[in-house]
């Protein structure tokens, strides 16, 4: 009962944001955070739940952005079509890639994901006929929302697009929650904690890692599509390693293996770099230090334990903490 | 109790509502790379703009108010530049934008300018497509690569005493644009293209590409590179025994390049929009002030900054109000005489009419050996 | 020599020059991986720091070039030992994700410290070598390039000898193969770790210091170098020194020849495709762990 109240309260708060926050700049940050929430929830599936460190996630994000952008520019597909298309396309790419690399374990897996990301960057940069290389694809517009009988809504205003992103983030959260609470999710954790035992029980680590990998990539692709249409522009910079690092920071410091952790991490680590604009190098040095220290001493992350401390148990939305 | 803790935490984190200040000054936003690979040049641009803004303020400012520059770091990263521009327009309420140095970042910031209806002017980004997008809020105060090519291409074979030209450029829109547009102009001057090679921004050594160019036996090599790669490139070209003269767009006349490249910089030609050895009253004064306050010779990025801020202020003055839309309209009617001659904007907001220069490094000084004028861009 | 043969020879020489550098850096990486089971994402930063410290010593402190090189390496080794003691010592039994995240964090940390100290401007180390190129039968090189090749080759040989012949090397290889057993026979695992990490860092720093004469170094260089090193190590086999050497040379040659005879925009893709091929057909790499 109180859990329902808590959920509604949080939802109400989230919906109220554009009404309370009139400043477009902060709304912009909320929107970007929301997009990253979708992306890092996906990353958490493979990193937190299955326990494989994939550094290809930012590449999936960028690939989703490019897919959606290309469909818009060449076929005039609006974001409503582009987003699911991007999710499917990237999910499929992850399926193919996973088939090749998910049997590898250990460090080799991690490095291959890096190589894959770099290769995708090279393609985006050099396949100029398709992607316009460094010039990128500009002019990506946000679509209108046409509801039959209600006419069409213009969602290009930040305060309106916020709700689209909020919806996406909530949907992503619910999907992930359903997944991790299901028997599939339990098998994720078993594979992570004790792979030989899982195998002996007939649970194929490869199969479950693949599920997480593809689902995560699809989420990243969807997030990429949102990002592309919101920013209005894609370029090969999206493949830079800096996106990988920030996503990892969001997941790890947020609390891998939970859902709320990375989601909050996404918000925190979108706002923090912007608020600390002045201190550019010190900012990154601090983040890196926190990452090292947190990894060494705080494997549950920083944000999630903090939230767990602040929020009384009966108000908590999910106990999907399986770290 | 725990629930109170939560409420307090939430309240504190939502309490960040800012409020707009009344505008006493005319605010101009600057998005430039102050960190990242081109930070050195970005910082020169910013320092120049600051110096010139102070000069303008000392003479009374514009519209009876002082100019206030608000500078944000775009780091030549499109996403960061967009964030910077959003902040400048939305929070700082700037009436005009200068930026964002790299063509890809400028392309991204253009969208922000259009969305918020604030005029954006660049003195540096040369990618041709920027003015092809019909964005009415974007102005380019520098010649594009194809325009430079048309101006100097026919002159190069004679000036360099070369017939066989090889291209070795950065593998991005700039380098590709050069290799697409220069050949015709060079051929019209009697030249012949014998090689087209590229290198990546992340490349540290160019031995393979240079060897390939060498195999084509060129009389001159046409390059496009920024300072960091220009130094290694020219050094390695000489180290591999290639003696043909080098001519390039990019860093080739700047002090930082000449100093770092040492003997490899001697005899290098540069196709530049500005060089500090220009002989004119405006430039003499500029160079003197620059040397006094910033302790070095102004590079082409300083020249670009000079153009950008002056054109912006000139437009504000003629607009008669610190209103972005009026400034935009005024900017369209620009007829500005400054550092590099007369500048007007054509229908696509592309500047034309200014002088451009062929520089040659002699004894560490980039002398002007030829000039040309940018004619209106062909549709 | 005919023109095309000369060009081919030039490409081959270029390839060997770069290949030796790749091999040296990869040897260090594979050593750290083999002994400590850590994929050191900060490896390229050791290269970068080696270059920057050498630059600092020669350019700003006026130290003699040939003295500056070993001093720069020593400085980076000191840093490595400190890092080992402060951080990696605690990670001996840590899972792979932990160690990888720590090295990623370290890589970001070092890159930004370098940005703070030296700025983003690429710097090349002033060398006392004459810049006039030397040519043999139309193939060009410079005294500096020859020096680089000589030093990197020598260090590769030294590394190989240390691993194979010295007591420390044998202890390291024993730790590779069986940590518990090695500990039981009295090998001080902590010390081995420290040596391996320091030695690996030393090799990378030496490469950075020596190559910094003709390849400008900037803080962002670390990331590129790390990527190349990982590619070599995957090709050659993680933990195999011979693999690192052969893999490095092969990658250098493949890139030089590839760029020489194919569109130059895709030069970097050669390494990536090689990795994919290896992964598909021989995942452990060309050589097994030594």
pLDDT in tens, A63-88: 999 999 999 888 888 888 889 999 99
Residue B133 predicted with pLDDT over 80: yes
Q: Between the CA of residue C90 and those of A297, B235, C107, what are the distances in Å?
A: 10, 46, 18
Q: How far apart are CA B103 and CA B224, in angstroms?
A: 14
**B169 and B223 Cβ atoms separated by less than 8 Å:** yes
Chain A residues with CB under 8 Å of B120 CB are none
Chain A partners within 8 Å of C91 (Cβ): 296
Peptide bond into C29 cis (omega under 30): no
In chain C, the residue whose alpha carbon lies closest to the alpha carbon of A286 is C109
Amino acid C25: pLDDT: 95
Q: Do B174 and B137 share a structural domain? A: no
CA distances from C165 to C24, C159, C179, C242 (A): 18, 10, 20, 15
Q: What is the pLDDT of residue A189?
A: 86
Residue B40 near residue B296, CB atoms below 8 Å: no
Report the pLDDT value the prediction gives residue A88, as an integer from 0 to 100.
96
- Res A323: pLDDT: 38
Q: Cβ contacts of residue B296 below 8 Å, gap of 6+?
A: B255, B290
**Is residue C290 situated within a structural domain?**
no
Q: What is the model's pLDDT at position A151?
A: 58
Chain A residues whose CB is inside 8 A of the C84 CB are: none
Measured distance CA(B91)–CA(B119) in Å, rounded: 16
Q: Report the alpha-carbon angle C138-C140-C142, nearest 5.
A: 150
Identify from C279, C280, C288 which residue to disrupt to test chain A contact, counting A C-beta atoms within 10 A and taking the largest count.
C279
Q: Is C214 inside any structural domain?
A: yes
B126 and B189 housed in the same domain = no
Residue B141 near residue B304, CB atoms below 8 Å = yes
* Rounded Cα gap, residues B249 and B251, in angstroms: 7
Chosen for mutation from C20, C121, C124, C257 (greatest number of chain B CBs closer than 10 Å) is: C121
**Residues of C with CB below 8 A from A289's CB?**
105, 109
Give the C-alpha separation, C123 to C142, whole Å.
19
On whether both B156 and B203 belong to a single domain, the answer is yes
Do A47 and C97 make contact, defined as CB atoms within 8 angstroms?
yes
Report which DSSP code applies to B102: S
Chains near B with 3+ CB pairs less than 8 A apart are A, C
Sequence-separated (6 or more) residues with CB below 8 Å from residue C284: C237, C238
User: What pLDDT sits at residue C72?
Assistant: 95
Task: Flag whether B10 is in a domain.
Answer: no
CB contact under 8 A, A112 and C87: no
Confidence bin at B17 (pLDDT 50/70/90): very low
Give domain status of residue B253, yes or no.
yes
Chain A contact for B349, CB < 8 A?
Answer: no
Burial class (CB in 10 A: 0-12, 13-18, 19+), C30: buried
Q: Which residues of chain A have pLDDT under 50?
A: 320-323
Which two tokens mark B248? 């390039």
CB contact under 8 A, C264 and B197: yes
Q: What is the mean pLDDT of residues B345-366?
A: 91
Asked whether residue B109 falls in the same domain as residue B65, the answer is yes
Predicted pLDDT at B2: 53
Chain C residue whose CA is closest to B171: C265
Residue of C nearest to A298 (CA): C98
Asked if the C-beta of B127 comes within 8 angstroms of chain A's C-beta atoms, the answer is yes
Nearest CA in chain B to A22: B17
Does A111 contact C230 at a Cβ distance shorter than 8 Å?
A: yes
Distance CA A250, CA A242 (A): 12
CB C156 within 8 A of CB C23: yes
- A299 and C98 within 8 Å at the Cβ level: the answer is yes
Contact predicate C135/C142, CB 8 Å = no
Any long-range contacts for A191-200 (C-beta under 8 Å, 24+ apart)? A191/A50, A191/A51, A192/A49, A192/A50, A192/A51, A193/A51
For position C244, which CATH number holds? 1.10.3470
Q: For position B227, what pLDDT does the model report?
A: 78
Facing residues of B358 across strands?
A: B271, B370
**What's the residue count for chain A?**
323
Q: How far is B347 from chain C (nearest CA, A)?
A: 35
CA distance A182 to chain B (A): 30
Token digits for C244? 């690192």
8 Å CB contact of A115 and C116:
no
Q: Is the pLDDT of residue B154 over 80?
A: yes
Instruction: Report CB contact under 8 Å: A136, B86.
Output: no
Q: Distance, in angstroms, between C18 CA and closest chain B CA?
A: 9
Of C33, C109, C227, the CB nearest to A114: C227
CA distance C33 to C193: 10
**B7 in a domain, yes or no?**
no
Chain A residues touching C39 at Cβ < 8 A: 107, 110-111
Task: Report H helices in chain C.
Answer: 3-36, 43-55, 65-86, 96-118, 143-165, 167-177, 179-184, 189-211, 221-236, 241-261, 269-281
- List the alpha helices (DSSP H) in chain B: 2-14, 39-58, 78-86, 103-116, 145-152, 156-160, 173-188, 207-215, 227-239, 255-261, 281-294, 300-319, 324-332
Question: Which residue matches tokens 């790669």?
Answer: B229
Residues B295 and B323 in one domain: yes
Q: Is B93 left (phi over 0), alpha (psi -120 to 50) or beta?
A: left
Domain residues for the domain of C117 are: 3-281
Lowest mean pLDDT segment, chosen from A125-129, A259-263, B59-63, B338-342: A125-129
CB contact (8 A) between residue B18 and residue A128: no
Asked if A21 lies within 8 A of B127 by C-beta distance, the reply is no
| Full domain range(s) for residue B62 | 26-143+280-345
Residue to mutate among A128, A280, A281, with most C CBs inside 10 A, is A281
Contact flag B241-C124 (C-beta cutoff 8 Å): no
Q: How many domains does chain B have?
A: 2
Q: Is residue B86 part of a domain?
A: yes
**Which residue ranges in chain C fall short of pLDDT 70?**
1, 264-265, 288-290
* Contact status of C148 with chain B (Cβ, < 8 Å): no
ipTM score assigned to the predicted complex: 0.84
Is A282's CB within 8 Å of C116's CB?
yes
Q: Is C45 on the interface with B (CB under 8 A)?
A: no
Same-domain status, B368 and B243 = yes
Residues of C in contact with B38 (CB under 8 A): 120
Q: Which residue from A111, A126, A252 is facing C266, i.e. has the nearest CB?
A: A126
Q: Is residue B13 part of a domain?
A: no
Handedness of CA B125, B128, B133, B134 (dihedral sign): positive
d(C-alpha A262, C-alpha A256), whole Å:
7
**pLDDT at position A321:** 45
Instruction: Tell me whether residue B176 is in a domain.
Output: yes
What would the pLDDT profile of B33-46 be if each residue is shown by its tens digit?
Answer: 987 777 888 899 99
With 60 as the cut, is the pLDDT of residue B143 above it?
yes
Q: Rounded CA gap, B98 and B106, in Å?
A: 10
Establish if C289 belongs to a structural domain: no
Task: Indicate if B111 and B177 belong to the same structural domain.
Answer: no
Instruction: Evaluate whether C31 touches B232 at the Cβ level (below 8 Å).
Output: no
Say whether residue C279 is in contact with chain A using an 8 A CB cutoff.
Answer: yes
Chain-chain contact of A25 with B35 (C-beta, under 8 angstroms): no
Give this prediction's pTM.
0.84
**Is residue B217 domain-shared with residue B363, that is, in the same domain?**
yes
Residue of chain C whose alpha carbon sits nearest to that of A285: C109
A138 and B173 within 8 Å at the Cβ level: the answer is: no
What's the CA gap between B51 and B45, in Å, rounded?
10
Q: Is residue B261 part of a domain?
A: yes
Name residues 237-266 of chain C within 8 A of B (Cβ). 255-256, 258-260, 263-265
CA distances (Å), origin C51, targets A299, B163, C7:
35, 40, 30
User: Which chain C residue is nearest to residue B176, measuring alpha carbons?
Assistant: C265
d(CA C140, CA C152): 19
**Domain range list for chain A:** 25-128+136-240
Q: How many CB atoms lie within 10 A of CB B294?
A: 15
CATH number of B219's domain: 3.40.50.2300
Residue B14 at interface with chain A, using a CB cutoff of 8 Å: yes
Nearest by CB: A135 against B16, B86, B173: B173
């Amino acid at each position: 009962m109180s859990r329902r109240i808590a959920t509604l309260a949080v939802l109400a708060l989230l919906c109220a944001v554009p009404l309370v926050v009139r400043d477009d700049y902060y709304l912009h940050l909320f929107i970007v955070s929301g997009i990253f929430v979708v992306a890092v929830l996906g990353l958490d599936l493979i990193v937190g739940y299955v326990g494989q460190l994939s550094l290809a996630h930012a590449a999936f994000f960028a690939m989703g952005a490019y897919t959606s952008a290309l469909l818009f520019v060449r076929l005039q597909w609006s974001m409503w079509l582009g987003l699911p298309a991007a999710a499917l396309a990237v999910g499929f790419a992850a399926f193919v890639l996973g088939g090749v690399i998910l049997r590898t374990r250990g460090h080799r897996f991690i490095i291959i994901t890096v190589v894959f990301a770099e290769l995708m960057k090279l393609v985006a940069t050099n396949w100029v006929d398709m992607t316009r290389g460094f010039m990128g694809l500009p002019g990506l517009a946000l679509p209108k929302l046409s509801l039959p009988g209600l006419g069409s809504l213009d969602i290009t205003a930040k305060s309106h697009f916020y709700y689209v992103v909020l919806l996406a983030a909530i949907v992503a959260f619910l999907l992930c929650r359903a997944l991790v609470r299901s028997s599939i999710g339990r098998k994720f954790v078993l594979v992570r904690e004790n792979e030989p035992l899982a195998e002996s029980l007939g649970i194929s680590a490869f199969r479950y890692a693949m599920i997480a990998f593809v689902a995560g990539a699809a989420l990243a692709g969807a997030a990429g599509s949102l990002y592309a249409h919101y920013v209005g522009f894609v370029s090969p910079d999206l493949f830079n390693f800096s996106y990988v690092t920030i996503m990892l920071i969001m997941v790890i410091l947020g609390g891998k293996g939970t859902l709320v952790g990375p989601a909050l991490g996404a918000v925190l680590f979108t706002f923090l770099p912007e608020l600390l604009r002045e201190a550019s190098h010190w900012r990154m040095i601090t983040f890196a230090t926190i990452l090292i220290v947190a990894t060494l001493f705080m494997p549950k992350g920083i944000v999630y334990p903090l939230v767990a401390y602040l929020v009384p148990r009966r108000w908590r939305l999910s106990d999907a903490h399986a770290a | 109790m725990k629930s109170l803790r939560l409420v307090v935490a939430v309240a504190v984190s939502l309490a960040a509502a800012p409020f707009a200040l009344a505008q006493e000054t005319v605010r101009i936003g600057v998005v430039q790379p102050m960190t990242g690979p081109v930070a050195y040049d970005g910082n020169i641009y910013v320092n120049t703009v600051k110096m010139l803004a102070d000069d303008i303020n000392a003479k009374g400012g514009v519209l009876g108010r002082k100019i206030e520059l608000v500078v944000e770091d775009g780091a030549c990263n499109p996403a960061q530049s967009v964030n910077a521009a959003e902040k400048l327009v939305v929070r700082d309420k700037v009436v005009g934008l200068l930026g964002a140095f790299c063509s890809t970042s400028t392309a991204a910031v253009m969208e922000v300018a259009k969305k918020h209806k604030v005029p954006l002017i660049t003195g540096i980004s040369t990618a041709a497509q920027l003015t092809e997008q019909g964005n009415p809020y974007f102005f380019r105060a520098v010649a594009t690569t194809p325009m430079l090519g048309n101006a100097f291409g026919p002159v190069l074979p004679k000036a360099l005493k070369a017939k066989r030209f090889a291209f070795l450029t950065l593998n991005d829109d700039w380098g590709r644009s050069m290799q697409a547009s220069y050949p015709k102009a060079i051929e019209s001057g009697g030249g012949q293209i014998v090689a087209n090679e590229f290198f990546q921004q992340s490349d540290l050594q160019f031995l393979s590409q240079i060897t390939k160019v060498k195999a084509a036996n060129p009389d001159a090599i046409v390059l496009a590179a920024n300072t960091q790669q220009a130094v290694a490139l020219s050094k390695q070209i000489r180290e591999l025994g290639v003696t043909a003269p080098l001519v390039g767009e990019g860093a080739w006349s700047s002090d930082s390049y000449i100093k770092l490249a040492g003997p490899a910089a001697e005899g290098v030609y540069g196709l530049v929009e500005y060089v500090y050895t220009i002989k004119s009253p405006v430039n003499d004064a500029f160079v003197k002030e620059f040397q006094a306050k910033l302790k070095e010779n102004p590079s082409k990025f300083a020249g670009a900054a000079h153009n950008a801020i002056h054109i912006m202020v000139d437009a504000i003055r003629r607009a008669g109000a610190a209103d972005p839309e009026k400034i935009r309209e005024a900017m369209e009617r620009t007829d500005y005489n400054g550092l590099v001659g007369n500048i007007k904007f054509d229908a696509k907001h592309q500047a034309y009419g200014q002088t451009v220069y062929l520089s040659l490094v002699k004894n560490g000084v980039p002398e002007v050996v030829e000039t040309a004028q940018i004619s209106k861009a062909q549709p | 020599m005919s023109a095309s043969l000369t060009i081919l020879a030039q490409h081959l020489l270029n390839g060997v020059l770069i290949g030796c550098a790749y091999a040296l850096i990869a040897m260090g990486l594979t050593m750290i991986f083999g002994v400590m089971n850590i994929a050191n994402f900060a490896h390229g930063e050791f290269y970068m720091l080696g270059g920057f410290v050498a630059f600092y010593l020669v350019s700003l402190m006026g130290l003699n070039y040939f003295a500056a090189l070993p001093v720069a390496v020593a400085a980076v080794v000191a840093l490595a030992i400190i890092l080992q003691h402060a951080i990696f010592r605690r990670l001996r039994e840590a899972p792979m994700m932990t160690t990888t995240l720590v090295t990623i964090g370290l890589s970001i940390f070092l890159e930004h410290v370098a940005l703070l100290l030296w700025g983003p401007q690429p710097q090349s180390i002033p060398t006392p070598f004459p810049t006039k190129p030397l040519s043999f039968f139309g193939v060009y090189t410079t005294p500096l390039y020859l020096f680089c090749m000589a030093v990197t080759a020598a260090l590769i040989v030294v590394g190989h000898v240390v691993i194979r012949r010295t007591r420390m090397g044998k202890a390291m290889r024993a730790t590779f193969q069986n940590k518990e057993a090695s500990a039981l026979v009295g090998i001080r695992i902590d010390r081995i770790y420290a040596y391996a990490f320091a030695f690996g860092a030393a090799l990378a720093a030496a490469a950075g210091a020596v190559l910094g004469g003709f390849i400008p170094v900037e803080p962002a260089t670390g990331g590129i170098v790390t990527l190349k090193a990982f590619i070599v190590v995957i090709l050659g086999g993680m933990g195999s020194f011979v693999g690192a050497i052969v893999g490095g040379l092969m990658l250098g040659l493949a890139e030089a020849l590839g760029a020489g005879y194919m569109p130059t925009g895709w030069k970097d893709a050669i390494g990536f495709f090689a990795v994919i091929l290896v992964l598909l057909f021989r995942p452990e790499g060309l050589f097994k762990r030594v």
